[in-house]
Homo-oligomer: A and B are copies of this chain.
Amino acid sequence: MRAASREQGRTPAHPEIGDVPLQQVLEALVDPVRRGILRELYDSGEDRACGTFDLTVSKSTATHHFNVLREAGLITQRYVGTSRMNTLCRKEVDAAFPGLLDAVLGRGEA
């Protein structure tokens, strides 16, 4: 029980993308590092721990980018042990903005 509530305390807020303004979603997508993160999730189709992404930025900058993506409703994050696992909200994004992910990530261009 203590473990469960501790786990809950570490789970950051997750807005649903349908509640996020379009402006915020586009601002999340306009950054190439953030698109790189989304593309790795999109291409692999799997959840990924933060440390496994091929990023050229510092750890704290990477954390900022993951936060922006989560706050825009594009990814969810959860702890697995000490790793923060990232999941692309593919179904939710496709429902709120049909075609957006495929248009932005499907051309194979950073």
Contacts and interface: CB of A to CB of B under 8 A. Distances in A.
A27 interface: yes
A86 to B, nearest CB: 21
Nearest to A29: B26
Contact size range, A: 20 to 34
A104 B106 CA distance: 16
A107 B30 contact: no
Query: What is the total number of copies of this protein in its complex?
Result: 2
A12 interface: no
B32 A30 contact: no
B30 A109 contact: no
Given A22-B104, A98-B99, A99-B99, 7 more contacts: A22-B109, A23-B30, A23-B110, A26-B26, A26-B29, A98-B102, A98-B106
